[in-house]
Amino acid sequence: MNKKYIIIFSSVVAILVAGGVGANALIIANCNYDPATGNYIYKGEEAAHGTMDSALDCALSGLLSKIVSDRLGMYGDEPTKEQARKIIETNKINKERANE
């Protein structure tokens, strides 16, 4: 193979690897729940609860803490409770994948 193609191929691989690492760091950084209290922290402000979307962001990485998953959807109607069950299951699956 030509050296030019090897250099281009190596550069593309390096960019893809760096992008994957950066995306993973961004996902982890987006889990703003305090694992000890379950409080949601955003831009220096602390709230007792986050949103279902913020819980899903954490669940996609398997980072949703037990304290948050235990209360997720507890006061909602049936569709909200179903959404909470799906988020909790997503968290469980992704946590298991991360531990493989």
Q: How confident is the model at residue 63 (pLDDT cuts 50, 70, 90)?
A: very high
The rounded mean pLDDT for the chain is 81
Residue 5 and residue 8: Cα distance in Å, rounded? 5
Residue 71 lies in a domain: yes
Q: How many domains does the chain have?
A: 1
Residue 57 lies in a domain: yes
Residue 18 lies in a domain: no
pLDDT, tens digit (0-9, with 9 covering 90-100), for 14-49:
565 545 444 444 444 568 999 889 999 988 899 988
Range of the domain at 36: 31-98
Residue carrying structure tokens 């994957």: 20
Residue 85 lies in a domain: yes
Span 10-15, average pLDDT = 63
Residue 9 lies in a domain: no
